Amino acid sequence: MQIGNFSFENNNILIIAELSANHNGDIEVAKETIRTAKKTGANAIKLQTYTPDTLTIDCKKEYFQIKENSPWDGQYLYDLYKEAFTPWEWHAELFEVAKAEGLICFSSPFDKTAVDFLEKLNVPAYKIASFEIQDIPLIEYVASKGKPIIISTGIAALEDIELAVNTCKGAGNEQIILLKCTSSYPAPIDLANLNTMVDFRQKFKVIVGVSDHTMENTVPVVSTALGGQVIEKHFILDREMGGADSSFSLDPAEFKAMVEAVKSAKSSLGKVSYELSEKVKKNKKFARSLFVVKDIKKGEILSEENVRSIRPGYGLHPKYFNEILGKKVNEDIERGTPLNFEMIEFDFYNKL
């Protein structure tokens, strides 16, 4: 699978900086956020494409007020989305900034009109947000565009995920990526449950990754070790700016540290190999081998008193220890001499 110029071959990891509401209503802040995301090592920038009216209605009934011990408690949904949304008239310009920076730019649409709008911008992929995984008509419409579709699973039960995946496949689209997500802001690390991500890959035969709302690097690093190929984190120029998503967004220094930790984790995985590097081969001289540890005269018997397996590794392999015991030596040998077959009578070494 490929998104823009990014290929998932060779277990490459797509690192997405989520802009979300971290522009605080200022397009110049949004542009600078994109430019800075590039400097921190992100591969992609993700927007959100909605208006307050495409997500909810302006209603002050209690159903529409947030009371979930979240950063937005007390706010009404319409008011929050009005504060947080990215104006659609910014999109084309933000896409151009991302392109100039060499970043992949795509978005999460929240209704069909957003999909139609993003199609005109030729987005290379789509993201289904956690809370939209139950919007099957939206998923079906997005999947019908034939582009990679990344789905967060924050509020999803297994049957929700199965339905979303089957909906994509039913629309003829098997370019599916599932992200393990904990819909808590910020998210406690003990709820990450990254083995679920591994199960996604086994059950659904798809690329997997994480949409992570923790404030540390553990989840991205462990995800990498478990085979995750997408890491999405909210990104902000400075948390002191405030804003709807600031409390669970990484600043540039934190995001860069996360990227470097992920790269190190991926590098450490390497490949299945039993070959020894030249450096390791040189260090083998510090392994154990058979040494004479007590002066021995010609004709004397090798015993546990005069031969031991010790460091360094210039003598016989320790695996021969039991077989050389009781054999005579054919020369005087000083203490501290590595033992070899030529020192042993009866051409014993020819029989080993």
DSSP designation for 195: H
Cβ contacts of 271 within 8 Å, gap of 6 or more: none
Question: Average pLDDT over the chain, rounded to whole?
Answer: 94
Q: What are the pLDDT digits (tens) for 11-64?
A: 999 999 999 999 999 999 999 999 999 999 999 999 999 999 999 999 999 999
Q: What are the pLDDT digits (tens) for 73-85?
A: 889 999 999 999 9
* Contact by Cβ (8 Å): 248, 233: no
Amino acid of residue 201: R
- The predicted pLDDT at position 173 comes to 98
Residue with tokens 């509020």: 155
Look up the pTM and report it. Answer: 0.87
Q: Max Cα separation, the chain?
A: 102
Where along the chain do its domains lie? 8-50+85-269, 278-351
Q: Cβ atoms within 10 A of the Cβ of 119, count? A: 13
Superfamily of domain 8-50+85-269: Aldolase class I (3.20.20.70)
Interval 68-72 mean pLDDT: 77
Residue with tokens 């490929």: 2
Tokens coding 301? 């018997």
Q: What are the pLDDT digits (tens) for 317-349?
A: 999 999 999 999 999 999 999 999 999 996 544
Q: What are the pLDDT digits (tens) for 75-130?
A: 999 999 999 999 999 999 999 999 999 999 999 999 999 999 999 999 999 999 99
Tokens coding 227? 């085979």
pLDDT band at 67 (very low <50, low <70, confident <90, very high): confident
| DSSP per residue, 228-294 | --EEEEEB-S-GGG--TTGGG-B-HHHHHHHHHHHHHHHHHH-----PPPHHHHHHGGGS-EEEE-S
Residue with tokens 């077989």: 323
What's the CATH architecture for 278-351? Alpha-Beta Complex (3.90)
DSSP designation for 185: S
Say how far residue 327 (Cα) sits from the centre of its chain: 58
Helices then strands, counting H and E runs in the chain, come out as: 12, 13
Integer Cα distance of 163 and 169 in angstroms: 10
Share of the chain above pLDDT 90, in %: 86
**Looking at the chain, how many residues does it have?**
352
* Contact by Cβ (8 Å): 55, 81: yes
